[in-house]
Structure formats: structure tokens, C-alpha cells
Amino acid sequence: MIFRVAGVGLLVACLGGSAQADPVPRRVCFTTAEARDKIVALGLSDPFRLVRGATRSVTAEIVGVELCLWNDRLVYEIRLLPRDGHVGHVFIDARTGETVAPRPPR
């Protein structure tokens, strides 16, 4: 009986600890004003220059650009509308200008 009570207490402590281990969202996008401030304050790459470079070989209209924080990485999320009408995405590291893999979940 003592073993079961101790086991339940350990289980509750483990579950409580794991529930609080990941309180920060994996992906957070900033408002236009917040993004502007971060670009200036952190010396991030110019989003318009990066967008032009990343979409040179693609025939599509740029329909949106957001600055988002993926875990500890700042990424520009670019939405493109090609002629076929299916919205596509390009993800660029805001510090390095390198294209990155698809985004983590919200």
C-alpha cells in the first residue's frame, strides 16, 4: 500500500513537471509594428531584398510576408500566389537570408 501511494505521488510529480516544461509556443508571429522594431533593433536582413532574391526563379505574386519566431529562430514566412492559384510558402532565416525547411506547428 505504501508503494502505491509513493508511486502515485511520483506519477503526479512527473506529469505536473512535464505539463509545465513546454509553456512557450513553438511559433509566434509578430505584428507589422513589432516586426519593424525587431528588424531595426536586431539588425535583421531587409525582408524585401530577401523576398526578391528568393522568388526570382518563381513566377508568382507575393501576397504576404510575416516575421515569426520559430523556437529561437527568426524567420520570414512568405506567401506566394502562382498562376495555378495554389498558395505556396517560402521560409527564410531573417538573420542569415538562407531558405529554411517548412515551419513548425503553431
Average per-residue pLDDT in the chain?
A: 76
pTM: 0.68
- CA distances 27 to 12, 67, 72, Å, are 29, 10, 9
- The three cell numbers of residue 29 are 508571429
At 54 the pLDDT is: 66
Report residue 95 CA to chain centroid gap. Answer: 13
User: Each residue of 60-103: pLDDT tens digit?
Assistant: 888 999 999 998 899 999 898 988 999 988 899 999 999 888 86
Q: Give the start-to-end residue ranges of the domains of the chain.
A: 24-106
Amino acid at 81: L
Closest CA to 24 of 72, 64, 60, 68: 72
27-29 and 73-82 strand pairing: unpaired
Bridge partners of 18, per DSSP, are none
